[in-house]
Amino acid sequence: MLMNIDQNKLESMTVGTLKPVTPHDLRREEGVFFVGGELPVNETLETMYESFCTESTELFYLCFGNREMFYRGAEMASQIKKNFHVRLMARIDYPAPAQISEHVYAAGVDLIDIPLTVFNPLLAFDRGFNNQGVHDALLSARSVFPSWSVCSTLLIGTEPPDSTISGIDALLNEGIVPLVTLSGNVAGMESASIAAVFRHLASAWQRHNVPLKPFIPLINSLTPLVPFEQTGLIRGLIGRFQERRMMAAADLRRHLRVKPAEDSLDSAGL
C-alpha cells in the first residue's frame, strides 16, 4: 500500500503534543479506541459499549499495565474480543517473555506492540531502556502471532533521525512491523528531517510488502501518513468484505492453536 505524507497533518503534529498511551486511558482518536489495561473491567466495558454504539471504531488499542496488573489486562482483552467484532491490538511496555505472548494471543489479541522506543543501543542504555530484552520479546512474540502481526514503536526525537531509520530497516529484516510516532522532543527538529523518517518508513513498508490494512487506523491516528489512493464506495465495500474474511481466518487460526492446549490442561485436571 502506497502512503503519502499529509503536510498539514505533519505541521500540526510537530507543533502540538501527542497524548501518550497509558494503562489508564479510555479515549477515542479517529477510528482508534485506546483502552487502559489497568482500568476496572466491567465499568470500562459499559462505557466502551455506549461509545462504540455512537461512533465508528476500527481498532481497539489495549495498553497493558505493569507485570503485576497483567491478568487484569488479559481479562480486558478477552472481554473486548467477546463483545466487539473489531480488531484488537495490545501494547506491552516491558520485555514480555514467551508465556506472556502466548497468553495475550489466546485472550484474543490480533496485533501486539512491544515498543523499542530507541534503536541506538548506547542511547537506549543511557536512558534506561532494555533493548536486548525487548528484542528477545519481539522474537518470542513473532513465533506466536501470525506473520506481520508483531510490531514495535520507535519515537522520533529520542535519537538522531538516521538511527531511527536504521531501526526501521532492522525490524523489517526480522519480520517485525516498525511503527513510528513523535516523542515530546521534536520541537527543535526540522520538519524536513521528520518527514524524511516517515518517507523512509513508507517506502520500507512497501519494499517488504507489509500488509498495512490492520494498522491503518493507528497510522492515521499517530502519524502524518495517509494512503495514496482514497477508497471509493465499491472498493470500500470490497475492503470491508475482505476485512471480515481476514478476521474470521485469524480467529480460526487462534482457535486451532489454542484449543489443543486448553484440552490438554482440561484432561490433566488443571
Position with higher pLDDT, 255 vs 193:
193
Q: Which of 197, 169, 181, 209 is nearest to 34 (CA)?
A: 181
Position with higher pLDDT, 190 vs 89:
89
How long is the chain? 270
State the pLDDT at residue 85.
86
Domain 3-229 has CATH 3.20.20.70: yes
Q: pLDDT tens across 85-111, in order?
A: 899 999 999 999 999 999 999 999 999
> Regarding beta strands 87-91 and 59-63, do their DSSP bridges make them parallel or antiparallel, or are they unpaired?
parallel
Beta carbons of 52 and 23 less than 8 angstroms apart: no
Q: What is the pTM of this model?
A: 0.86
d(CA 127, CA 121): 10
Residue-averaged pLDDT of the chain = 86
Cα end-to-end span (Å), the chain: 46
Helix/strand/coil for 92? coil
Mean pLDDT of 226-255: 63
Eight-class DSSP state of 185: T
Asked whether the predicted pLDDT for residue 143 surpasses 50, the reply is: yes
Mean pLDDT of 108-136: 93
